[in-house]
Structure 1
Amino acid sequence: MKLGLVAGEASGDLLAGLLLQGVNARWPQARSVGIGGPRMVEQGFEAWWPSDRLAVHGYSEVIKVYFSLLKLRRELGDRLLAERPAVFVGVDAPDFNLGLEARLKAQGLKTVHFVCPSIWAWRGGRVHKLAASADHVLCLFPFEPALLAKADVRASYVGHPLADAIPLEVPRTHARAALGLGERDVVLAVLPGSRRGEVTHIAPDFLRAAVRLKAARPELRCLLPVAPGVRALVDAAVVVAGAQAAVELVDGRSHEVLAACDVALVASGTATLETALFKRPMVIGYRVAPLSYQIMRHMRYQPWIGLPNVLAESFVVPEFVQEAMTPEALSNAVLAWLDDPAACEVVAQRFLAMHHELRRDTARAATAAIAEVAGA
């Protein structure tokens, strides 16, 4: 079995790495090639290009690298057509992957798209492009296959692999010990994102919020897990925000930090779902370049941007977007959680129910669907 895969940025690498565990269990001699990151490489993936080549944040950044991305997609497509894998799996990154999948499908290759584009949130017209690009879609959320069926797109609900990877019972004591934290420490996890654009637009105000919180609660421990490849940017942001004494940087280990924390301050994206699966109350913030926001805000169908709120169809946790994402607003919302243990327990129970719904042994379910597409 030979698979082609493309995963962009840290979240896609994580999803694809978990998928490859199922692939390797079913086909021990499988070969997987394409664009990927370290988690995929750990599973034996052959990365022709690294996944951070696709880690672009917002429309304005895409414009800057548009032609280089087109060149990369063309070169990758040429190589995949020469290799002729049994199936190509595009992991998220729809703006890159759907065009590639359409080309491969037109040349007779089987194509699977892993992670339904958020057509229920914005840009619903992409469902027609999805229909033309993918033979099958692997959906992370239970309501998605019915939406795709309306456009005659074959799809399977496979659950979310993070729900399998993250334990139902949070290993808080173990995580705190591993991070050198005491049981009585009050801990804030600060997760401003893994992409360079997120660090640029989000980290400064997250760090200023941490400074305000440290001044209000001197005993507070603020831990910021730094994603690979952005350490220099984070270091510079810490200095600019004057947060050297307020924030402790940790290389990676975001899951340990989330397991150990009392509250999380997190950028909208996959990390919000990870935080929910660790049953932690959170404050969600998000900001993109002004041009990107003006484009995006006219395409939104729902009032929520954070995945836990989307799944709950309500503002279970607060969100602060664009101009509303100020250090004062963020810090006040964090303090509100710290001052209300009963509310924290209520949201933890809601997140536990969400965890059970999303836990479906995704690696095995997704691999079975891929095998059906491949006829293997």
Structure 2
Amino acid sequence: MQAPSHPFLAMVAGETSGDLLASLVLQGLRTDFPDLYAAGIGGVRMAAHGFDAWWPSERLAVHGYSAELVRRIWGILRIRKQLVQRLTAQKPQLFMGIDAPDFNLGVEERLRVNGIKTVHFVCPSIWAWRPERVEKIRRAADHVLCIFPFEPALLAQHGIAATYVGHPLANVIPLEPDRSAARRKLGLVEEGEVLAVLPGSRASEVGYIAKPFFQAAAMLLRARPSLTILVPAVPALRARIDALAAECGILDRIRVLDGQSHLALEACNCTLIASGTATLEAALFKRPMVISYHMHPISWRLMKRKQLQPWVGLPNILCQDFVVPELLQDAATPQALADAVAQWLDAPVRDPSRLALLEQRFNDLHLELRRDTPKLATDAIQKILAA
């Protein structure tokens, strides 16, 4: 079926964070192009802005290099082939790949060869690992929209046009979060310790990470019986989260939320959190955190070989310092996680200067990332279309 004759933007967002970024771009574009037809692969936030999802974004979500990827690779490759064929036939004015570089750069490269203009939104982290990917970016993208201020200059060194548009989350999240209001919304008492536990938004992440997180939570509850634990869960993973919490003996001691991760982060004193975009959200809420990650051992060894910086968590990468602890792979034992969280929970009494310094660094980061992303992205796209 042919797309409508009015302006056609094709987009692919491969996971929850990409869905948010794409929805903000759509919001900005619809101001100037109210009859825009946008279609491809996306999620619920994009759908709220009239996006036609030919496939849901969760079809592309995969964790690591090994077992899960082997199981799902053929289905993902089939979707990519069908998408390229469909877009090559329908000729959108522009294709935008939002993050998901392993999928999107290949799509962009094929479409660009066929005369379709391409934009990649979110510069692949060539400054953190896999620097060889810069050559693929050069072949694939007419333009890159960057969410971190140092990226355009880095890409320019390789002859790649780019625009810094700020990080959309810096506008979504208030500069001064209101912990008391968030607790009222959740029906929590204003005083008392609250821990937000975020074990990831993908099934594979939950499979590797949730159990040690919940085991750590059990230890913390034994030491701090009045501790409130919030666990935001993607609705599709709620049953799995509940089962793992029950296995660890804490299901009746925690509160599992349907989504509401921002509310949980705003309400908490500290968060135990899987490495990923959620760690930046926690930093923008000015919350102390313990970052952790665990994956298949083969995936871990492959990633470690290509890692360029000593940090994995975005707050540490952006601050160029271990401002919050990272406990990764074999270091992510329940006891180590519980001890690191306890240090943050004790900090208001034992080390208040540590909390104050962290909040100031996260506030400075927030100001640096805060831009009118929908407008800047829209302006860049209009220039690309007019070229």
Q: TM-score, normalised by structure 1?
A: 0.98
- Give 1:80 shift: 1.3
Instruction: Find the partner of 2:11 among 5, 18, 34.
Output: 5
State whether residues 285 and 321 of structure 1, in contact with CA within 8 Å, keep that contact through their aligned partners in structure 2.
yes
Contact 1:191 1:265 in 2 (8 A): yes
Residue 12 of structure 1 and its aligned partner are, at CA, apart by 1.1
Cα distance between partner residues in 2 of 1:18 and 1:268: 23
Deviates more, 1:312-321 or 1:335-344: 335-344
Counterparts of 2:356 and 2:234 in 1: how far apart (Å)? 29
Any residues of structure 2 matched to 1:250-269 within 5 Å, and which?
250-269=257-276
- Counterpart amino acid of residue 296 in structure 1: M
Q: Pick one of 184, 188, 196 that aligns with 2:191.
A: 184
Equivalent residues in 2 for 1:63-212 (5 A)?
A: 63-212=70-219
- What's 1:307 paired with? 314
The secondary structure found in structure 2 opposite 1:98 is helix
Shift of 1:66: 1.3
Match of 1:35 among 35, 41, 46: 41
- What is the CA distance between 1:25 and its match in structure 2? 2.0
SS of alignment partner, residue 298 of structure 1: helix
Which residue in 1 is equivalent to 2:363?
A: 352
Q: What residue identity is the alignment partner of 2:21?
A: L
Contact map agreement 1:210 1:246 (CA 8 A) in 2: no
Shift of 1:236: 1.7
| Displacement of 1:186 | 1.1
* Poorly superposed stretches of 4+, deviation over 3 Å: none
3-state SS in 2 of match to 1:248: strand
How many Å separate the matches in 1 of 2:225 and 2:57?
A: 39
Instruction: State the Cα deviation string for residues 62-110 of structure 1 (Å, max 9, x = none).
Output: 2221111111001011111222111110000000000000000000000
Q: Is the 8 A contact 1:207 1:247 kept in 2?
A: no
Displacement of 1:251: 0.4
Greater shift, 230-239 or 72-81, is seen at 230-239
SS at match of 1:152: coil
Shift of residue 151, structure 1, vs aligned partner: 1.0
> Secondary structure of 1:245's partner?
helix
Q: Distance in 1 between matches of 2:270 and 2:60?
A: 30
Paired residue type of 2:9: L
How far 1:199 moved relative to its partner? 0.2
Q: Count how many residue pairs are aligned between Structure 1 and Structure 2.
A: 376
- Matched to 2:381, the amino acid is I
Q: State how far apart, in whole Å, the 1-side matches of 2:210 and 2:118 are.
A: 37
1:303-351 Cα deviation digits (max 9, x unpaired):
1000000000000000000000011111111110111121222211110
CA separation in 2, counterparts of 1:272 and 1:252? Answer: 16
User: Which residue of 34, 47, 52 maps to 1:46?
Assistant: 52
Structure 2 residue corresponding to 1:218, chosen from 219, 225, 231: 225
Secondary structure at 1:238's aligned position in 2? Answer: helix
- Aligned equivalents of 1:14 and 1:171: distance in 2? 22
Matching residue's letter, 1:88: F
Identical aligned pairs, as a percentage? Answer: 55
Shift of 1:355: 0.3
Show the counterpart of 1:370.
381
**Cα-to-partner distance string for 1:268-315 (whole Å, 9 max, x where unaligned):** 000000000001000000011111101111110111000000000000
- Paired with 2:90 and 2:203, the residues of 1 have a C-alpha distance of 32
Counterpart CA distance in 2 for 1:194 and 1:17 is: 18
Q: Tell me how far 1:254 sits from its aligned partner.
A: 0.6
* Distance in 2, Cα, partners of 1:210 & 1:364: 42
Q: Residue type matched to 1:93 in 2? A: A
2:3 aligned residue: none
Matched residues in 2 for 1:29 and 1:172: separation?
A: 40
